[in-house]
């Protein structure tokens, strides 16, 4: 997965991306 590659190269930025994706997913489910 591209997400895993990002985390491996830049853990901090990758972690932020994962958090954003999780928030968007939860929001989409709530709606």
pLDDT for the residue 27: 92
Residue with tokens 């590659």: 5
Residue 14 burial by Cβ neighbours in a 10 Å radius (0-12, 13-18, 19+): middle
- pLDDT of 25 reads 92
pLDDT score recorded for residue 17: 83
pLDDT at 30: 87
Q: Are 19 and 3 in contact (CB under 8 A)?
A: no
Domain extents for the chain?
1-31
CB 15 within 8 A of CB 7: yes
Q: Which two tokens stand for residue 26?
A: 């939860």
pLDDT at 16: 82
pTM of the model: 0.48
Summarize pLDDT for 1-31 with one digit per residue, the tens.
465 655 566 666 667 888 899 999 999 998 8
């Amino acid at each position: 997965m591209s997400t895993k590659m990002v985390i491996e190269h830049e853990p901090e930025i990758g972690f932020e991306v994962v958090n954003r994706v999780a928030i968007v997913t939860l929001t989409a489910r709530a709606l």
